């Protein structure tokens, strides 16, 4: 695919993943940063917002100005849901990925094409044994910047080329597989982790979500 045909991305990276974490590095490597005539714009919370003396409204304002094809949030702060709703209403075709959101997961899932959280460790699983959601603060803290970087790359690939009629776990698995291939060919030093992707279950009905995915870290991956 030619560079000019690549999707345009906007990433909102939360406080757990500041610039120095390197979470955006793989996206920058693959798509190029917008300020360097590339395809991805990164907004860091709260760094970028302090510099512009702006609230979270900067998210919707940036979408209006740059009209990205894909909006990804990573550990976004509480209140981001309002921006996502506005963006979805104004740009119904934009693809939205929410990773480790701080807002109520159900409405976030409703406005997202793909929502990603980490599964609660087995020791504290729900009584029925279904995959359970780890709180955003804990999930973000359990992911290194490098792990977040490869997850972001996989999520971007999933949205850029994935079939949204498939389940979220299938879409993400496909994107992560492609991320692994690209990382290997590009000589990136961080290997793609051996994660499992599970559909989240509604705690009341037990129904499996089509869009909400839980990451299960294997013991081997957790020790890396």
Task: Please tell me whether residue 116 adopts helix, strand or coil conformation.
Answer: strand
The reported pLDDT for the residue numbered 161 is 79
Say whether pLDDT at 220 is over 70: no
Spatial contact of 116 and 91, defined as CB atoms under 8 Å apart: no
Handedness of CA 194, 200, 203, 204 (dihedral sign): negative
Number of domains in the chain: 1
Spatial contact of 91 and 61, defined as CB atoms under 8 Å apart: no
Axis crossing angle, helix 168-186 with helix 145-161, rounded to the nearest 10: 110
Top-confidence residue, 223 or 13: 13
Say whether pLDDT at 163 is over 80: no
CA dist., res. 38 & res. 109, Å (int): 29
Q: Give per-residue pLDDT as tens, 21-33.
A: 999 999 999 999 9
The reported pLDDT for the residue numbered 134 is 54
Say whether pLDDT at 224 is over 60: no
The reported pLDDT for the residue numbered 119 is 87
Arithmetic mean of pLDDT, 76-92: 97
For 210, the domain range is 3-222
Closest of 86, 94, 93, 18 to residue 58, by C-alpha:
86
Q: Is 190 exposed, middle or buried (0-12, 13-18, 19+ CB in 10 A)?
A: middle
Which residues are bridge partners to 159 per DSSP? none
CA dist., res. 202 & res. 164, Å (int): 20
The reported pLDDT for the residue numbered 202 is 86
The reported pLDDT for the residue numbered 138 is 60
Arithmetic mean of pLDDT, 156-180: 90
Q: Enumerate long-range contacts of 168-171, CB under 8 Å, 24 or more apart.
A: 168/114, 168/115, 168/116, 168/197, 168/199, 168/209, 168/210, 168/211, 168/212, 168/213, 169/197, 169/198, 169/199, 169/213, 171/114
Which residues are bridge partners to 73 per DSSP? 12, 98
Say whether pLDDT at 122 is over 90: no
**CATH (domain of 94):** 3.40.50
pTM of the model: 0.88
Arithmetic mean of pLDDT, 189-197: 78
């Amino acid at each position: 695919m030619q560079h000019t045909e690549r999707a345009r991305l906007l990433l909102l990276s939360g406080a757990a993943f500041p610039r120095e974490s390197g979470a955006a590095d793989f996206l920058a490597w693959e798509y190029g940063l917008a300020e360097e005539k590339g395809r991805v714009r990164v907004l860091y919370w709260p760094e970028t917002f302090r510099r512009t003396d702006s609230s979270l409204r900067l998210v919707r304002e940036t979408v209006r100005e740059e009209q990205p094809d894909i909006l990804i949030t990573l550990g976004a702060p509480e209140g981001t849901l309002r921006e996502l709703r506005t963006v979805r209403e104004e740009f119904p075709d934009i693809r939205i990925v929410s990773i480790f959101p701080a807002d109520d997961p159900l409405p976030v899932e409703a406005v997202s094409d793909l929502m990603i959280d980490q599964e609660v460790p087995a020791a504290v699983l729900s009584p029925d044994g279904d995959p359970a959601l780890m709180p955003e603060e804990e999930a973000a803290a359990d992911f290194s910047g490098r792990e977040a970087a490869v997850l972001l790359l996989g999520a971007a690939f999933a949205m850029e080329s994935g079939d949204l009629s498939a389940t979220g776990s299938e879409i993400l698995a496909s994107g992560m597989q492609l991320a692994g291939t690209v990382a290997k060919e590009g000589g990136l030093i961080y290997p793609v982790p051996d994660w499992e992707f599970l559909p989240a279950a509604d705690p009341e009905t037990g129904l499996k979500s089509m869009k909400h995915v839980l990451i299960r870290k294997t013991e081997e991956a957790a020790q890396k």
